Structure 1
């Protein structure tokens, strides 16, 4: 039987245009969401699976831009990557661009507290995080 272990939300910016955070270094991951899932109630003979989703909005410079969203099992951009999504945007839309994502991590180690961290990177200076920004994760046993 499947059971919910924990669900967390990291809400950095709730509304459109509520922040203005520039991405200052090309192709360098910048943290925008982090949750710590409590897995201490998982039976030792069970499998733990995590589902996550999020959204981030960016204002793009006047050039072709590639944006990468990366989710790691841990707190550092060098920790194990469990999800990565790259999108290339053109200049046909000059308004802020919303990037939504969802993914899963299977057979998660049995630890008391498992952090997940979401990062964004851009291949061009002038990309600005404008909000909303949200990262959610839920852990289940089976």
Structure 2
């Protein structure tokens, strides 16, 4: 039976987050939809975070691998909270690079991220959440194209 952190996940259950430097939740959710990674993407002041819907052993690593391949030019962090313990690892280009001390993540983390990590905030409590689940390829592609156009205009 697969553990899950869907929108109504119980507090204290397994949680897997992929922290990115993507500016907005929409493009991250769209990219995840195209890669068939089930996440709820939420904006934070330090970048969008992908909250994995599938958290059985090995599945968060598959999500981090896929997301880090999509964002091949920038590292991402996978943080898993299982049985009350946090484990964090840095990923780049589809490969786990090294482990990161979880305490470093909490030090100076924005309240949204800290709340998710310690279990006091559910992803559904955050504003601006976009799910990759149910996004069609067509809609995801349009979202990415729109974000790319906005980024070009901002330069």
Structure with bigger helix share is 2
Higher strand share: 1
Which band: TM-score by shorter chain? under 0.3
TM-score normalized by the length of structure 2: 0.24
- The structure number with the bigger radius of gyration is 1
Q: Which has the higher contact order (CA 8 A, sep 6+)?
A: 1
